[in-house]
């Protein structure tokens, strides 16, 4: 229990004051006991908080600009999965020491993505300790059009955005001491949160979740919340070239960190969804169907046989 | 970069789901990508985030029930200083390992204080790593009656609640290997946030701040934000018996962690403030006056001489 190096850490705080987009609904930002924010009538507040720990969620020596980007991207992805419009962030940064170059790069990476999504950093806390980053992002969504996990119904089609397994492959390459190519590495280190897609799916999708833990685990949360089962067509999964050549289903099914969206919608919305994907320049692929007869998730191989008979069977992917 | 022990940590999450008071304005709590919260019209959202790091802000072996209490108390104190009504919390808990007894006690300490203040835990993230706790608390306050730091005016009286320096003395005792008596120790480990006082000071106080870093540092923030100076009468400072017998001004002036409120108000409000203190059972003491002639904080000893000539002069307290 030591005294904080006050002046030094106050300086660090100054790095983050005013980061991100200017917003008129910030009545009071960094520099008082609380930030004061105006929530417009008709909107509910959507709140998500995520922690990244050095050595657990990222390599301690990773590029701080990319880390700043990813810190916000992870939370933007949660808001996207809710159909919410991002607005305000707060940042808790625990640092072993003050490193101005590292901080400047981290702040730049976070700030660029914040500005791109209209997000303002309104407060935070900087402390000394093992490198740990917690960001809370707050956004707005009319409560009746929020995309929840519990709305999937039998007969709904299951969709995913982008491609699956890229981040897991990049991580496997890095862990094996190999250098993944830049595009693949960016999928792990600089994920693209699907904010515009989530927004556009209001009133279209019956349920949504973002893919942070892998398709099987995350779709499993939707099934559990909605009380339904599902059938995935593995042959339909959208795979990037590098992942496709590996012929390893676990990359796409259990690989985390893709930060794509998985959502459900009645088949009658197919045309609308495909058009929406084209308008946003975002690949959207139907990968299966929600079933009402039991809560199991069945994964069908291209030859029609089943990869695993019950949801329990996917547990062996968890450590893959 | 290791894979999270998913099941184990999901279990930890379950410890915190539903913690705190029931609130009708929680449209969606723990268990989706975001929590969804309803902000009533006419209220602005007051947001505060604080991090506690083991070995920096608390002894790693400290009582987990007290730590749970303090985690929330620190943020409640920020909301109190804003005059805001606490509402919703999110918790980021980074733990070296799963320790069910520790977690149960931590959750109980946090939950008891949450219920007492009508706060609901609506989300969070549990990760593995060095023990670090970040809590974000959100509350409500009409924007026009929020207590800010920048409203102090020349002639305002300066008030503090409770007594000063107790937490610093308890810390000094513990660091010296002595065991402070239970009441003194509670002032460090189980601070009482002045939520009802902050709420009652709406429309009365011209500025307010909570005392987390010590009176000189925290009042200094008010002076800087308001562009004014001040004169403190050290003989008027409310000291508990243990602190008074030490005759060490630095305990009350630079000791942090008291979580009392320091606020300013025109002298015309004196009677109202004293009545308010009586109603709340909270000692309120006038300790000085805001001056318009320069931005210095002068500390006057009981004999009328000055303890330090300029605000700069207090820096030597910072490490005390």
**pLDDT category of residue B6 using cuts at 50, 70 and 90:** low
Compute CA distances B266 → B172, B197, B273, B284, whole Å. Answer: 36, 17, 10, 15
- State how far residue A304 is from chain B, nearest Cα, in angstroms: 30
Supply the ipTM of this predicted assembly.
Answer: 0.89
Binding residues of A for substrate: 57, 257, 314
At B12, the pLDDT band (50, 70, 90 cuts) reads low
Nearest neighbour of B171 by CB, restricted to A1, A123, A209: A1
Cross-chain residue pair A209–B319, CB shorter than 8 Å: no
For B307, the token pair is: 């303890």
Chain B nearest-CA distance from A39, in A, is 7
pLDDT, average across residues B179-187: 94
- All residues of chain A having their beta carbon less than 8 Å from the beta carbon of residue B92 are 49-51, 92, 134
Beta carbons of A129 and B3 less than 8 Å apart: no
Is the per-residue pLDDT at B317 higher than 80? Answer: no
Residue ranges of domains in chain B, CATH in brackets? 6-144 (3.30.1330.10), 148-317 (3.90.650.10)
Question: What angle do helix axes B100-116 and B64-82 make, rounded to 10 degrees?
Answer: 30
* DSSP bridge pairs for A288: A158, A232
Residues A82, B36: C-beta atoms closer than 8 Å: yes
Q: How far is CA B236 from the centre of its chain?
A: 22
- Residue A123 DSSP code: E
3-state secondary structure string, B196-255?
HHHHHCCCCCCEEEECCCCHHHHHHHHHHHHCCEEEEEHHHCCCCHHHHHHCCHHHHHHC
A38–B45: do the CB atoms touch at under 8 Å?
A: yes
- With residue A280 as reference, give the H or E element that holds it: helix A270-280
CA-nearest residue to B151 within chain A is: A32
| 8 A C-beta contact, residue B100 and residue B108 | no
Dist CA B232 CA B297 (whole Å): 7
Q: Annotated binding site: which residue ranges of A?
A: 33, 48, 50, 57, 78, 124-125, 149, 210, 212-213, 257, 314
Collect all residues of chain A within an 8 Å Cβ-Cβ radius of residue B79.
33-34
Taking the CA of residue A79 and the nearest CA in chain B, the distance in Å comes to 7
Which pLDDT value is given to residue A319? 34
Contact A149 B213 (CB under 8 A): no
Q: How far is CA A231 from CA A23, A157, A260, A295, A298, in A?
A: 44, 10, 19, 10, 5
Q: What is the pLDDT of residues B90-146, one digit of tens each?
A: 999 999 988 889 999 999 999 999 999 999 999 988 889 999 999 999 999 999 999
- Is pLDDT above 70 for B291? yes
What is the per-residue pLDDT for A70? 96
Contact state of B59 with A1 under an 8 Å Cβ cutoff = yes
pLDDT surpassing 50 at residue B78: yes
Q: Does position B227 have pLDDT exceeding 70, yes or no?
A: yes
Do B94 and A53 make contact, defined as CB atoms within 8 angstroms? yes
Averaged over B276-294, what is the pLDDT?
A: 95
> Which member of B38, B143, B174 has the closest CB to residue A44?
B38
Token couple for A105: 């790069």
Which three-class secondary structure state does DSSP give residue B169? Answer: helix
Optimal mutation site among B49, B79, B137, B222, interface A, most CBs of chain A within 10 A: B49
Query: What is the distance in angstroms between the Cα of A303 and the nearest Cα belonging to chain B?
Result: 31
Q: Which of A8, A33, A130 to mutate to test the interface with B (most CBs of B within 10 A)?
A: A33
pLDDT band for B310, please (50, 70, 90 cuts). Answer: very low
Q: Could you tell me how far CA A246 lies from the centroid of its own chain?
A: 24
The predicted structure's pLDDT at residue B5: 46
Q: Which of A79, A134, A222 to mutate to test the interface with B (most CBs of B within 10 A)?
A: A134
Phi and psi (nearest 5°) for A297?
Answer: -105, 115
Question: What is residue A18's predicted lDDT score, i.e. its pLDDT?
Answer: 78
Whether the pLDDT of residue B313 is over 80: the answer is no
| Residue A145 φ/ψ, nearest 5 degrees | -115, 15
Whether A36 sits inside 8 A of B44 (CB atoms) is: yes
Mean pLDDT over B10-18 rounds to: 70
Q: Which residue has the tokens 């804003």?
A: B82
> Which residue numbers in chain A have pLDDT < 70?
1-13, 308-320
Chain A residue with minimum CA distance to B171: A1
Scored b (16 or more CB within 10 A) or e, B143-164 reads eebbbbbbbbeeebbbbbbbbb
Band of the pLDDT at B240, cuts 50, 70, 90? very high
């Amino acid at each position: 229990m030591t005294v904080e190096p006050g002046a030094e850490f106050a300086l660090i705080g100054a790095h983050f004051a005013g980061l991100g987009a200017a917003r008129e609904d910030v009545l009071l930002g960094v520099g008082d006991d609380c930030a004061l924010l105006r929530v417009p009538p008709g909107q509910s507040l959507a709140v998500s908080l995520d922690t990244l720990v050095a050595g657990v969620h990222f390599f301690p020596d990773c590029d701080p600009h990319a880390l700043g980007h990813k810190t916000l991207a992870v939370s933007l992805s949660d808001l996207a999965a809710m159909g919410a419009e991002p607005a305000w962030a707060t940042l808790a940064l625990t640092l072993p020491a003050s490193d101005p170059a590292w901080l400047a790069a981290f702040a730049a990476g976070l700030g660029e993505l914040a500005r791109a999504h209209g997000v303002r950093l309104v407060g935070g806390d900087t402390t000394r300790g093992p490198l740990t980053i917690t960001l809370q992002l707050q956004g707005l969504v009319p409560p009746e059009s929020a995309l929840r996990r519990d709305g999937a119904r039998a007969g709904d089609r299951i969709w995913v955005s982008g491609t699956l397994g890229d981040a897991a492959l990049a991580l496997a390459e890095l862990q094996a001491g190999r250098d993944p190519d830049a595009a693949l590495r960016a999928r792990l280190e600089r994920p693209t949160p699907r904010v515009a897609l989530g927004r556009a799916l209001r009133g279209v999708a019956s349920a949504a979740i973002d893919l942070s833990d892998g398709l099987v685990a995350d779709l499993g949360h939707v099934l559990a919340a909605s009380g339904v089962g599902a059938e995935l067509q593995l042959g339909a999964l959208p795979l990037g070239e590098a992942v496709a050549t590996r012929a390893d289903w676990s990359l796409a099914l259990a690989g985390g960190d893709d930060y794509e969206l998985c959502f459900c919608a009645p088949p009658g919305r197919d045309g609308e969804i495909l058009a929406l994907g084209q308008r946003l320049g975002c690949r959207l692929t139907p990968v299966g169907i929600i079933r009402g007869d039991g809560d199991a998730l069945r994964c069908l191989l291209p030859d029609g046989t089943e990869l695993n008979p019950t949801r329990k069977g996917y547990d062996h992917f968890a450590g893959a």
